[in-house]
Structure 1
């Protein structure tokens, strides 16, 4: 997979990236609308080691943009004001809808793991809740770039 061209010194290992994506609560999703204007929105997500799963309102600009043009960029980062604590991951690729829209809980093997991960992460291990307003988008990244400026201390 193409990705880190520069900044390899501060790149996260696959294990560091997976741990980081598994613990961060919010990502920012960038889409492009039919008018060509960008749109960025915050969203909860889960990472399964190969794909980023986004549980999005199906009546949102984000959903409409992705249905119109599937290319997206997602940033997950943290660190605050201290430069040497900045770290993050950018994932780029195409998102696709998985399951019924909106999701009502129809059995689907492909969604068992993401829904379990989502419930574990955001509901303390309870059951995933279907509200009839959200649907699943899966981003299998074509490019992943990461940074952890704490590595500059070494």
Structure 2
């Protein structure tokens, strides 16, 4: 078995990693043809991830022009602890305000430590409802997933 095969995450491990991590780095193609890289909060969504952003942001403009991105999630502070997932993804832009509101609530609940299905405080609903008309949802649907988990090597190289 190759080293690459040894460190690849299973589908269940990928899902667990999505649920565990907190920040994605999204690379889209800027107007000059160069990568535009931005860190974002996210939530696991279907087989990929989703987030929201201001509709006038550079990343929103980029994915309107070319609805593709590469998403990186990674952690580890030494070689034997490196873990990560890189997604090549098609990007769906969500503009329906009600759906963007739902996405915003999902994000804020996740980062506040709430569990799916927990009641949404009225103050949060009001805040998100005020933000949603200015934002768009971004759903990253993977076309290719590459993963690595060096902890599977047991400290050997």
> What range describes the TM-score normalised by the shorter chain of this pair?
0.7 to 0.9
TM-score under structure 2 normalisation? 0.79
1:94 aligns with 2:90: yes
**CA–CA distance in 2 between the matches of 1:40 and 1:30?**
4
The corresponding residue for 2:111 is: 122
SS at match of 2:53: strand
| Gap change, CA 1:152 and 1:6, over 3 Å in 2 | closer
Aligned ranges 1:11-30 → 2 under 5 Å: 11-30=8-27
Q: Which structure's residues are more often helix, by fraction?
A: 2
* RMSD, aligned α-carbons: 2.4
Deviation at 1:28, TM superposition (A): 0.2
Distance in 2 separating the partners of 1:30 and 1:145: 15
Structure 1 unaligned blocks of 5 or more: none
| Secondary structure in 1 matching 2:141 | strand
- State the alpha-carbon separation in 1 of the partners of residues 139 and 41 from structure 2: 13
> Against the structure 1 CA distance between its residues 95 and 21, is the aligned structure 2 distance closer, same or farther, given a 3 Å change threshold?
same
Deviation at 1:98, TM superposition (A): 1.7
Equivalent residues, number: 142
Do 1:33 and 1:68's aligned partners in 2 also have CA atoms closer than 8 Å? no
Structure with greater Cα Rg: 2
Q: Separation in 2 of the partners of 1:111 and 1:57?
A: 13
